[in-house]
Amino acid sequence: MPHFPKPAEGSWTEHYGIDTKPVSYQDSISPEHYEQERDAIFRRTWLNLGRVEQLKRVGSYFTKEIAAAGASVVIVRSGPDEYRAFYNMCRHRGNKLVWQDYPGVEVSGVCRAFTCKYHGWQFGLEGDLQFVQQEEEFFDFDKADWPLRSVRLEVWEGWIFVNFDDDAAPLTDYLGTMLRKLEGYPFHEFSQVYKYRAEVGSNWKLFIDAFTEFYHAPILHGRQAVEEESRKLAGYGYEALWYEVDGPHNVVSSWGGMSPPKDESMVKPIERKLRAGLFGPWDSPDVVPELPSGLNPANHRAWGEDSFLFFPNFMILIWERQWILTYHYWPTSHNTHIFEGTAYFVPPKNARERLTQELSMVTFVEYALQDANTLEATQTMLETQAITEFPLCDQEILLRHLHTTARQYVAEYENTKAGAQ
Ligand code: FES
Ligand SMILES: [Fe+2]
């Protein structure tokens, strides 16, 4: 395996001034700490809810349950180039405004106005109250005083973000320089979307841990490959091309492994037929004339993929072969979360391309299941507290960074709260 240059200090972890001592996972098993994270992180940072292409026309909407922030929101395209977010709650007596058969289930659709199921109040796409049943029965009542309560929403490169904190800095400030160097990537070209969702029995940070290090990949996922390849992978180990941290966000840049493999006999027949596998499609749709400066930060010829963590819970993986994966981790308690994996491709031009994309997606899901299985085994053991300190290697730098960042948000928030009292 080629050895990639580490920084002069000899380790990435020391280069970024991150502590190298063994770590505690108390922050992933404590219900109290989780409650603090809800206030300090999920009610104050910019949270991604997908892309503008999900809202095809004026009036297109979707709802999102964000348990960690204690909110349900509705996102709507209110004008040709205008998007809004509202608390999904009726101004009359608090009924959930947009839902179908089950109030807890997320929905999407197109409408001209939102009508409450309870007493029929109607709100326009801009949140304005438009109709009240028996309006004359209300006291000193002016509809203009009762719009839907809005949530801050900003769009960056077609990605929709909301923030429950009215005092938070604007999204582009929050993203910082490293992530803004992705600007110009033609994300809108990737409009063929495949989604996968799972309820996972682990703390949300543990799953991010599993996707910001690939140290585990040759071992945990090794058996996915044909036998000979699997032995080779385990022998190689894993070393990233590049790690970077910028404020709360981070990236790991990785080599492309075997897409396409040098020796096609090393992969399964279906992969040879459909020209896709472990790392997605082997062929590129050729829609990215030039990489923005934020991609392939090591400028390495073996570059295959960059995984960006947008703190707290959103990851974008951009592949050299021109497809995108995103992950969202939505906490539902200190030891459970909902994982969403979404793959974005350039729309297929024929049936074979479609199958290539489907194979990439099912391969990814198989991986995610292998990871998720391990997470539940880890969470239950961490909770026994039989062992409470764990050594992390240099390839696990981003785990240290994530947990340290999350703890800092909690500490700063608790300090401000104490100062305000
Ligand atoms: S609660 Fe919505 S109309 Fe009464
Ligand atoms: Fe994995």
Q: What gap in Å lies between CA 113 and CA 61, rounded to an integer?
A: 10
Query: Which strands form 336-345's sheet, in the order they lie side by side?
Result: 192-200, 336-345, 324-333, 314-319, 303-310, 249-255, 242-246
> Among 14-23, 64-73, 85-94, 362-371, where is mean pLDDT lowest?
362-371
Is the per-residue pLDDT at 334 higher than 50?
yes
Q: What gap in Å lies between CA 153 and CA 126, rounded to an integer?
A: 13
Position 2 scores a pLDDT of 44
Instruction: Give the residue among 251, 325, 316, 242 at the shortest CA–CA distance from 281.
Output: 325
Mean pLDDT to the nearest integer, 139-144: 98
This prediction has a pTM of 0.95
State the burial class of residue 9 (Cβ atoms within 10 Å of its Cβ: 0-12, 13-18, 19+): exposed
- Residue 95: pLDDT band by 50, 70, 90 thresholds? very high
Maximum CA extent, the chain: 78
Is the Cα dihedral 72, 78, 83, 84 positive or negative? Answer: negative
Please state, in angstroms and as integers, the Cα–Cα distance from residue 164 to each residue in 39, 46, 48, following that order: 10, 8, 12
Position 299 scores a pLDDT of 92
Cα 96 to averaged position of ligand 1 atoms, centre (Å): 9
Position 260 scores a pLDDT of 75
Is 330:338 a contact under the CB 8 Å cutoff?
yes
pLDDT tens for 380-391 read 999 999 999 999
Q: How far is CA 59 from the centre of its chain?
A: 25
Position 277 scores a pLDDT of 86
Q: What gap in Å lies between CA 212 and CA 252, rounded to an integer?
A: 7
Is the per-residue pLDDT at 78 higher than 80?
yes
Instruction: Give the residue among 197, 212, 210 at the shortest CA–CA distance from 377.
Output: 210
Give the number of whichever ligand sits closest to the CA of residue 364.
Answer: 2
Give the number of whichever ligand sits closest to the CA of residue 88.
Answer: 1
DSSP 295-357: SSTT--TTEEEEEEEETTTEEEEEETTS-EEEEEEEEEETTEEEEEEEEEEPPPSSHHHHHHH
Position 226 scores a pLDDT of 58
The per-residue b/e assignment along 342-371, b for 16 or more CB within 10 angstroms, e otherwise, is bbbbbebeeeebebbbbbbbebbeebbebb
State the Cα torsion 318-319-325-330 to the nearest 10°.
Answer: -50
Residue type, 79: G
Sole residue written with tokens 């031009």? 349
State the burial class of residue 416 (Cβ atoms within 10 Å of its Cβ: 0-12, 13-18, 19+): exposed
Mean pLDDT to the nearest integer, 186-212: 96
- Quick one: tokens of 34? 């989780």
Cα 48 to averaged position of ligand 1 atoms, centre (Å): 29
Position 1 scores a pLDDT of 40
Element containing residue 108 per DSSP (H, E): strand 108-110
Position 232 scores a pLDDT of 62
Tell me which residues have their CB closer than 6 angstroms to ligand 1: 90, 92-93, 95, 116, 118-121
> Among 33-47, 322-336, 361-375, where is mean pLDDT lowest?
361-375
- Quick one: tokens of 238? 């894993």
Cα 140 to averaged position of ligand 1 atoms, centre (Å): 18
Mutate-to-test residue for ligand 1 from 86, 90, 141, 149, highest number of ligand atoms within 8 A of CB:
90
Mean pLDDT to the nearest integer, 188-205: 97
Q: What percent of the chain shows pLDDT beyond 90?
A: 84
> Among 2-6, 172-176, 249-253, where is mean pLDDT lowest?
2-6
The per-residue b/e assignment along 393-407, b for 16 or more CB within 10 angstroms, e otherwise, is ebbbbbbbbbbbbbb
Q: Which atom of ligand 1 is nearest to the CA of 97?
A: 2
Is 215:227 a contact under the CB 8 Å cutoff?
no
Residue type, 5: P
Position 227 scores a pLDDT of 62
- Residue 231: pLDDT band by 50, 70, 90 thresholds? low
Position 230 scores a pLDDT of 59
Residue type, 198: A
Is the Cα dihedral 218, 222, 224, 228 positive or negative? Answer: positive
Give the number of whichever ligand sits closest to the CA of residue 366.
Answer: 2
Is 188:357 a contact under the CB 8 Å cutoff?
no
Kindly report the average pLDDT of the chain as a whole number: 93
Beta partners for 367?
Answer: none
Cα 89 to averaged position of ligand 1 atoms, centre (Å): 9
The per-residue b/e assignment along 58-95, b for 16 or more CB within 10 angstroms, e otherwise, is ebbbbbbbbbbbebbbbbbbbeeeebbbbbbbbbbeeb
Is the per-residue pLDDT at 89 higher than 60?
yes
